[in-house]
A and B are shown apart, each in its own frame.
Chain A
Amino acid sequence: EIVLTQSPGTLSLSPGERATLSCRASQSVSSSYLAWYQQKPGQAPRLLIYGASSRATGIPDRFSGSGSGTDFTLTISRLEPEDFAVYYCQQYGSSGYTFGQGTKLEIK
């Protein structure tokens, strides 16, 4: 099973700042099968990025994804108040589907 490790566990930033979230895989992941989700308290997750770098429908362009192999990054260029939430990376491989443990993005 591929393990996804997200860092940092918690990121404290102010609105307007840039956020960089990391997702590291225990084995190489096909870029086609790496996604990022946002989850706010009491809500279901929302797909942000698929295929490592493609924005899902309706996702603002301040969200971007990059990376390949074992290292992937979600970048939020300028934080808006509504961006403070928990973010998860997720992969699909031969051994199934796994999520990272999440990064909580909180207001500083």
Chain B
Amino acid sequence: EVQLVESGGGLVQPGGSLRLSCAASGFTFSSYWMHWVRQAPGKGLVWVSRINSDGSSTSYADSVKGRFTISRDNAKNTLYLQMNSLRAEDTAVYYCARDLWAYGDLDYWGQGTLVTVSS
């Protein structure tokens, strides 16, 4: 059974940092592109970042470029999102998701982890 389990969310002050993790199981993690998608409370889905299967290529939304870094450890079956210089508008539930074909079709999602940026 495919499982994605996020962790690392919490309350952080503006300007602070946080690292999210997504532990994958039930599939060959190293074969799939992976994404982070966020959802502010009561709002819609917003794509954040993507990494290819071996970690050599990454892509970011303009709103997080230069502040967030996506990475992966295929030996540990884990996806990461390092978030620096956090702002109030980064407050959201952050989901990791698997890309079915590397076409952007996200077929499995984690349950999400809440990040709250507030003083």
Residues in A with CB closer than 8 Å to B26 are none
The answer to whether A97 and B104 have CB atoms under 8 Å apart is yes
Chain B: interface size category: 20 to 34
Question: What residues on A are CB-neighbors of B110 within 8 Å?
Answer: 44
Interface size on A, residues (CB 8 A): 25
B44 touches A101 (CB 8 A): yes
Q: What per-residue 1/0 map shows which CB atoms of A38-70 lie under 8 Å from chain B?
A: 010000111100110000110000000000000
Q: DSSP majority for the A interface? A: strand
Q: Which residues of B contact A90 (CB under 8 A)?
A: 45, 47, 104, 106
- Known contacts A44-B111, A47-B100, A96-B59: A35-B46 contact under CB 8 Å: no
Assembled-state Cα–Cα distance A73/B82 (Å):
36
Contact of A97 with B111 in the complex, beta carbons under 8 Å = no
Measured CB to CB, the residues of A under 8 A from B are 1, 32-33, 35, 37, 39, 44-47, 50-51, 56-57, 88, 90-92, 96-102
